[in-house]
A and B are shown apart, each in its own frame.
Chain A
Amino acid sequence: MSGGVNTSAIFRAIFMRDVRLAWSQGGTGTMALSFFLIAVTLFPFGVGPEPQTLARIAAGVIWVVALLACLLSLDRLYQADYEDGSLDDLALSPLGLTGVAAAKILAHWVATILPLVALSPILGMLMNLDAGAYGMLVLSLLVGTPALSLIGSVGAALTVSVRRGGVLMSLLVLPLYVPTLIFGVGAIDAAAGMTDPLPHLAFLGAVTLVALVIGPIASAAALKLSLE
């Protein structure tokens, strides 16, 4: 029976469903994008409009806000499916919970985070980012943000049955985001300071790869717990 089932078709179906949901009304896609834009523009009001000050903190601000946007949008990655019972159905699919988690994480990254990455040069402009660092801004976000989705998914899965799990989830996940933030900002600062950003980028990629190994498995284990 299982021979007839095409697991990659199931993976694609879950992926497409989540992408569509993210961009339907009330989905996380537009909200995360708006949050990203608005939260970054708050910083010049807070620290003052001097171009030098903004340039110095641009990389850090954009990364931190991207991280928070990711966290906010991950809040209900599994919760809606858990509440309406579709997670029970998904758990029975031949893909297994690990595959389901992987599909949902990928959908989150593509639908919610990739638009932020695409928008980031405009925010770099608003924050007076050093002219030589735009390419590295996009590249470091591309390499680093998958780790945010992957690690955040574990937090979302652990708190899936907690009614207001968002705050608890950020408490669990934020400490684990520290390495990604450090290497991501490090790469941009290196590019802006005319030094070699490659070591930062390599470590950033390494963190993402570790998260790729841990994220879906730990998420599946946590989801299985809440479905018992």
Chain B
Amino acid sequence: MKIDPIHQFNIEPLFTIGQIGKHTIAFTNSSLYMFLSVAVISLLMIGGMAGRQLVPGRLQSIAEISYEFVASTIRSTAGSEGMKFFPLIFSLFMFICISNLIGIIPYTFTVSSHIIVTAALAFLVFFTVLIYGLYKNGFKFFKIFVPSGVPIYILPLVMFIEILSFFLRPVSHSVRLFANMLAGHIALKVFAGFVAMLGVSLGALGWVGGVLPLALTVALTALELLVAFLQAYVFAILTCIYLNDAIHPGH
């Protein structure tokens, strides 16, 4: 058995849907897990709230806690005006969080381990900020590039840095999530692979020696659980901070 830590990221087309230009559009394993995540979120948020109980049960508690968590994150970073974007941020957070958590289950696929997915989400945020900022504030929106209280002689430099960092936002936003998920899953696979490799190559001694990488795999899985949630939270809170620029330009 050859252990390839990259194999888990393969995109396997399940069936072809159609063709756009030169590109064939296939329903892939990635698509499957995207829709699975959407289904799980819908089940949680709609099925969990079906009881509409005054004293919530477990599933309803999870749904309400997710709601309150995202709502308070928005209120604390973008103010109450940011609640306009509540559905968007909630969708982003839940989509990333649930797909990451599903991805930790062995033999599953992690949607956000592909740069194209995270980049698409990051650009969605970037253009939302840009378009809403221009629509709401007009040219005042460009005040985000001109911090107040900066001496005039270093203003050009500061403006250059601000503009550069603004346009690099989608890159850092997407690469952070992508790299975290990719690296975590590779590390997990490598350590889990050691267990099997030691057992196959060294026999009984190898199985005893495999305890150490096994323990590490368990620890890494726990860490990945944290990272799966944390990266979703980081993605959501950065979205809030970027939207705050669009809502209140000028530092």
Q: Do A and B come from one complex?
A: no
**What residues make up the interface of A, taking CB atoms closer than 8 Å to B?**
none
